[in-house]
């Protein structure tokens, strides 16, 4: 199968078994075994602690659209959080996203939209300042999200690639985190979508890195993969300090690079 040969930025070479072929009928021990394998490949021997308090996943139990499953990750004790990993166990490339938060971040909540290829556990792992890895899990029913063809041609899907928008919610106030939504035009081709005009799979073309910063201060860096939906939309928050614009740099796996700046609402005294 050609799509398995595609090299993904975050992909797991350890996974030699075609995990994507399993799914709805798997029992818990199979799921657990798969998770252990993925866990080791990402975190090595580091210990993961189960938590319900430190990181929470909100996602539909059953996806309406497997190619666009909205996920909200909440980290109530946000001051302790330095990073966040999202793993969709049964996706062909399970390691969906890794967020690294900088000093300008307010890492209490992250929203993103993902593809889900099979009935799967979704794991979120928060990383804390004192080096802990805190894990939580949610089971989601969806199917075909990675291979689902888009309702348009590849050319149409690539129209405006790299265009960005940013929306800010509410007014800025001292000490109050500002919520923002970043939208990026990009097909994020998974490499599993068939284009039979060429009798081949549309090559994977997806965003590998998004850096959001303000002045010299980083808000977050996202390492992305094919599990992120086309036209990625990312919800995040930042500390309302500074007057510089919010700068976004996005890079894809085919040397695409786009940079945009957005003026954030200023704190008025």
Partner 1 sequence: MRMSRTRREALFGGLCLCCLPTLGRAADAFAMEEIGPGIFMRRGIDGEATAENADAIANIGFIVGDEAVLVTESGGSHADGAWLRAEIVKRTAKPIRHVVLTHVHPDHCFGASAFAQDYPTFIGHHGLSAALDSRGEFYRGRLAEVLGAERAGTVVKPTMNVADTAEIDLGGRTLRLTAHGTAHTNCDLSMLDTRSGILFPADLLFVARIPSLDGSLVGWLKEVERLKGMGAAKAVPGHGPTLVDLAPALADLTRYLSVLRDGTREAISTDMPIEKAVQTVGRDEGDKWLLFDSYHGRNVTQAYKELEWE
Chain residues binding partner 1 by CB under 8 A are 24-25, 58, 60, 62-68, 70, 72, 111, 113, 119, 141-145, 147-153, 165, 167, 169, 181, 183, 185, 193-197, 231, 233, 235
Cβ proximity to partner 1: between 66 and 122 the closer is 66
Q: Which one, 68 or 126, has the nearer CB to partner 1?
A: 68
The structure tokens listed for 25 are 């009928």
Nearer to partner 1, 60 or 245 (CB): 60
Q: Residue 154: which H helix or E strand, with range?
A: helix 154-157
Residue 227 C-beta: closest distance to partner 1, Å: 14
Q: Which of 228, 258, 212 is nearest to 105 (CA)?
A: 212
Q: What are phi and psi of 219, to 5 degrees?
A: -90, -60
Residue 100 or 231: the one with the smaller Cβ distance to partner 1 is 231
Q: By C-beta, is 131 or 151 nearer to partner 1?
A: 151
Query: In 3D, which of 196, 247, 253, 191 has the Cα closest to residue 219?
Result: 247
CA 205 to chain centre: 15
If we measure between CA atoms, which residue out of 100, 114, 1 comes closest to residue 58?
A: 114
CB 18 within 8 A of CB 4: yes
Min dist CB 143 to partner 1, Å, is 4
CB of 27 to partner 1, least distance (A): 13
Q: Smaller CB distance to partner 1: residue 128 or 238?
A: 238
- Give the separation between CA 108 and CA 126, rounded to whole angstroms: 11
Distances (CA, A) of 86 to 1, 7, 20: 26, 19, 17
Query: In the bound complex, what is the minimum distance in angstroms from residue 119's beta carbon to partner 1?
Result: 7
Min separation Cβ 157 and partner 1, Å:
10
At closest approach, how far in Å is the CB of 21 from partner 1?
A: 13
| Least gap, CB of 13 to partner 1 (angstroms) | 27
Q: What DSSP string runs through 17-54?
A: S-GGG--TT--HHHHHHHHHHHHHHHHTT--EEE-SSS
Q: Torsion-angle region of residue 35: left (phi > 0), alpha (psi -120 to 50) or beta?
A: alpha
Nearest approach, Cβ of 194 to partner 1 (angstroms)? 6
239: how many CB neighbours lie within 10 A of its CB?
Answer: 16
Nearest partner of 7 among 209, 208, 193, judged by Cα = 208
């Amino acid at each position: 199968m050609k799509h398995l040969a595609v090299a993904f930025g975050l992909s797991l070479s350890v996974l030699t078994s075609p995990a994507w072929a399993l799914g709805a009928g798997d029992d818990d021990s199979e799921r657990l075994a798969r998770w252990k394998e993925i866990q080791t490949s990402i975190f090595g021997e580091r210990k993961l602690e189960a938590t319900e308090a430190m990181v929470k996943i909100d996602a539909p139990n059953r996806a309406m659209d497997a190619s666009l499953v909205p996920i909200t990750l909440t980290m109530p004790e946000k001051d302790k959080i330095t990073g966040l990993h999202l793993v969709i166990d049964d996706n062909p490339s399970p390691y969906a996203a890794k967020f690294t938060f900088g000093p300008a971040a307010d890492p209490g909540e992250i929203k993103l939209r993902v593809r889900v290829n099979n009935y799967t556990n979704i794991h979120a792992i928060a990383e804390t300042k004192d080096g802990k890895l805190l894990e939580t899990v949610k089971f989601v029913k969806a199917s075909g999200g990675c291979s689902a063809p888009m309702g348009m041609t590849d050319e149409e899907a690539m129209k405006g690639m790299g265009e960005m928008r940013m929306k800010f919610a509410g007014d800025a106030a001292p000490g109050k985190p500002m919520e923002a939504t970043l939208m990026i035009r990009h097909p994020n081709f998974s490499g599993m979508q068939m284009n039979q005009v060429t009798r081949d799979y549309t090559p994977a073309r997806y965003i590998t890195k998004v850096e959001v910063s303000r002045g010299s201060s980083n808000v977050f860096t996202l390492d992305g993969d094919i599990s992120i939906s086309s036209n990625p939309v990312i919800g995040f928050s930042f500390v309302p300090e500074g007057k510089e614009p919010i700068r976004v740099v996005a890079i894809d796996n085919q040397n695409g690079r786009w940079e945009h700046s957005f003026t954030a609402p200023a704190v008025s005294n």
